[in-house]
Chain A
Amino acid sequence: MNKKLFYFIPYTLWLVLFVGAPIILMLLQSFMSIDGQATLANYQIFFGSGTYLRMMFNSVWYAFLITVITLVISFPTALFLNTLRHKDLWLLLIILPTWINLLLKTYAFIGILGHNGSINSFLQFMGFAPQQLLFSNASFLLVAAYIEIPFMILPIFNALAEIDNSLINASYDLGASKWQTLRHVILPLSADGIRAGIQAVFIPSLSLFMITRLIGGNRVITLGTAIEEHFLVTQNWGMGSTIGVVLIIAMIITMFVTRERKKGGNKY
């Protein structure tokens, strides 16, 4: 028993120092006014201001859209990947972009979407007038979805790979159509992967901020933008922490809603 405890020390230390302590510091900070007095004012400002509530709405709404877009693309992709012969190789190609720095990828998109970028050059070549692509909601969603998509495909792919093929064959043998098999066999069995994918995409999407400026041209304002400003420009760490706490609560809610439910319930 003592030995077991001993092995736990590094992990516990890590948790306490790098997970527990920062969250507690942030919580304390969020109850501080700019003069260092304990106060609830930051929360009052947050929930009493149309600006912050709209930002909160933007954050959740865009995170939701990004999650839906990635999910809609990822599930069929993962299904398809599982039928291929060299699936590990194909999977590697999907994971490959995550090895490249996020900022570099974003800058690459500026080159693609820009006024004189690849897409517009192509449009002009085809005889169309160049379009304004950058600084639009659509381009923001495109880039954000592109960046998040490997994190959605990976867990779904793994969940699908674990499904016993004989179950699917049994479903066909019993007269189920392709659609019925998908709906009643594959989907429930891959639900854990989908949940993990949603968590891995929705939660980071809540606090995106660099892309909102570079691709969105600050036309899409989310809470990440406000946190950056409070910590760097106005030095109002209390308010910045309050927004951070609100985001953490939003993330906890997400985890709770998408948590793994006890098996055996009647889900259909």
Chain B
Amino acid sequence: MKKLIYAALAIILATSLLWVGSIHFERAQNAETGTNGNKVLNLYNWGDYIDPALITKFEKQTGIKVNYETFDSNEAMVTKIKQGGTSYDLTVPSDYMIQKMKKENLLLPIHKSKITTLKYIDKRFLNLAFDRHNKYSIPYFWGTLGIVYNDKYVKRHEISQWNDLWNSKYRDKIMLIDSARDILGLSLISQGNSLNDKSSADLQAAKGKLDALMPNVKAIVADEIKMYMVQEEAPIAVTYSGEAAEMIAQNKHLHYIVPTKGSNEWFDNLVIPKTAKHIAAAYQFINFINQPENAKQNAEYIGYATPNAKAKQLLPKSIRTDQQFYPSAKTLSKLQVYQDLGQKKTQEYNDLFLEFKMTNR
């Protein structure tokens, strides 16, 4: 018994020392960056989706302490925002989710007169269907859905369209990203339909075509797809441009293509949720991150395509003209943006995808 009490006391002592230490260091850090407890910004972002050096720079410049929290899917993010808990001041949903959050009154309108850096954004990324006149959102990054291949096993000209995936020589060679809309979407496009198709017959047809792809599918995975492709577990993968950029940075044999006959183009925009408490700080941050210098640094760090025209000019030519991540105007004209399908249709997409996953090879 005595031993037990001593052990408990020792744990309490150790944790309180750690606690005092952590407070001390936090103070020291605050003093260094000039931040104090009252000025904070709760930033809710995708994992590894900002250059950490920029956060430090922002803290030094403004004296605002940034609390950085991350999520791994639009849906998980919205669920957490709806439930309250932490009051996030700024978050980064994708296009269709902005539309949905708008519908559910989860966003605060943005006063564009306060966004002094709006002029740097390429007009192509403003006033899009999911948020007309950018009432609620400011572009952050954009990208595409496409195919990654390993040039050790697949030759350059062999894959250029979605239909090439069905080639019987790729038996058990393809990895798919675990996302109902993207995978059903590529099947819809390959049949000449829209990514936002709501016709059950078309969806059934798309699912039927996917079933025929199953013998070629090695696995349907999420974030791990990066690791698997870098380790050359499979020669072909269907994934997003940003993930592809990270893979390519780690394995020079990998390349990314956007099917020229059509694919998905997505946008991640900064929004201020209804629950925000530090709105002035949120505006400061939006302006900060869109300063051409900062946006350029961020784009170089993350590897996604920046909607900031001025920042793009600052990027090295090799990045700026890379067709993998800044596709030609012709390809761009074929890309489609997701719209919110509503719960019923989202369910239908997901049910069909689940059925597809259960198809036997």
Contact = CB atoms under 8 A, between A and B. Distances in A.
Interface of A: 34, 51, 54-55, 110, 114-116, 132, 134-135, 213-214, 217-219, 221, 225-226, 229, 232-236
Interface in B305-361: 343-344, 346-347, 350-351, 354-355, 357-358
Contacts of A116: 231-233
A234 B350 contact: yes
Nearest to B349: A234
A194 B232 CA distance: 43
Given A54-B358, A234-B343, A218 B219 contact: yes
Which secondary structure characterizes the binding site on chain B?
helix
A234 B358 contact: no
Given A51-B355, A226-B354, A233-B180, A217 B346 contact: no
Nearest to A135: B219
Contacts of B231: 114-116
A114 B355 CA distance: 27
A90 to B, nearest CB: 25
Interface stretch (B72-80, B84-92, B126-134, B280-288): B72-80
Contacts of B346: 233-235
Contacts of B344: 34
Interface string B76-112: 1001000000000000000000000000000000000
Interface of B: 73, 75-76, 79, 172, 175, 178, 180, 218-222, 224, 227-228, 231-233, 343-344, 346-347, 350-351, 354-355, 357-358
B180 A217 contact: no
Contacts of A232: 73, 75-76, 79
Contacts of B354: 51, 221, 225-226, 229
A114 B222 contact: no
Nearest to B351: A51
21 contacts: A34-B344, A34-B347, A51-B354, A55-B358, A110-B224, A110-B227, A115-B232, A116-B231, A116-B232, A134-B233, A213-B221, A218-B219, A219-B219, A219-B220, A221-B358, A232-B75, A233-B73, A233-B75, A233-B180, A233-B346, A235-B75
B351 to A, nearest CB: 7
